[in-house]
Amino acid sequence: MSGLDAPRVLVIDDEPQIHRFLAPALSASGYAPLRAETGAEGLKRAAEGAPALILLDLGLPDMDGKALIPRLRGFTAAPIVILSAREQEAEKVAALDAGADDYVEKPFALAELLARMRAVLRRGGRPAPAAPVVRSGPLEVDFARRTARLEGQPPLKLTPREWDLLAALARAGEGRVITQRQLLTAVWGPAHLEDAQYLRVYIGHLRQKLGPAAGLIRTEPGIGYRFGPAEEEAG
């Protein structure tokens, strides 16, 4: 396999010695290593580099690695293997629940890490992700940067909840109905399945901020919402 064909492995870790250790080991094992030392850099590398697998440290300088997992999951289906010195069971459970595929404690044996990487790559089966950037009408939704903008305009000023709601709708895909319960679970969690009023209020706020693109969020009475232009507009 040539270097151009080698599967890319993104290593998101702020320890230079980890990169110095892993880069030649990954190359010797047939992978093409990519390097990032912060969460923000990791998001950018993941969006641009399309890695086959991500190795993620939880102790990043700009954010907790657990918070990075759902942001990565917004646009990539690549398996995520956690590399961390945190030994608490609660940390492992939280990372796995957030969307990681495996957890390896530091210090680790290279042979074990490579074996775990092969295992998660074999399993596959994760649903195809949304594109890193989704465009519908005048609206652009960038999952990696967590921004939404109208054509020719600066990013919209969305609250975290408004962003999560818009991202859930856009990720579902144009024309696909997403139910109220699915949106409530995705944005507020399973404890809020009956809080449909939350959803109506935030949908109203989101439509106001979308302005001329407000029609991209269409109500399906008694069911939920559909993202994208009306059928006659979609052509």
Whose CA is closest to 30, among 128, 121, 123, 130?
Answer: 121
The pLDDT value given to residue 1: 47
For the whole model, what pTM was predicted? Answer: 0.59
Give every residue of the chain whose pLDDT is below 50, as ranges.
Answer: 1-3, 125, 127-128, 232-235
Specify the pairing of strand 177-179 against strand 80-84: unpaired
Can you say whether residue 70 is alpha, beta or left, with left for phi > 0 and alpha for psi between -120 and 50 degrees? Answer: alpha
Token pair of 197 as six digits: 């009023």
The pLDDT value given to residue 232: 44
CA distances from 121 to 53, 114, 164, 230 (A): 8, 11, 28, 39
The pLDDT value given to residue 55: 97
Specify the pairing of strand 147-150 against strand 139-142: antiparallel
Cα–chain center distance at 139: 19
The pLDDT value given to residue 234: 44
The pLDDT value given to residue 11: 97
The pLDDT value given to residue 57: 94
| Sheet containing strand 80-84, strands side by side | 32-36, 8-12, 53-57, 80-84, 102-105
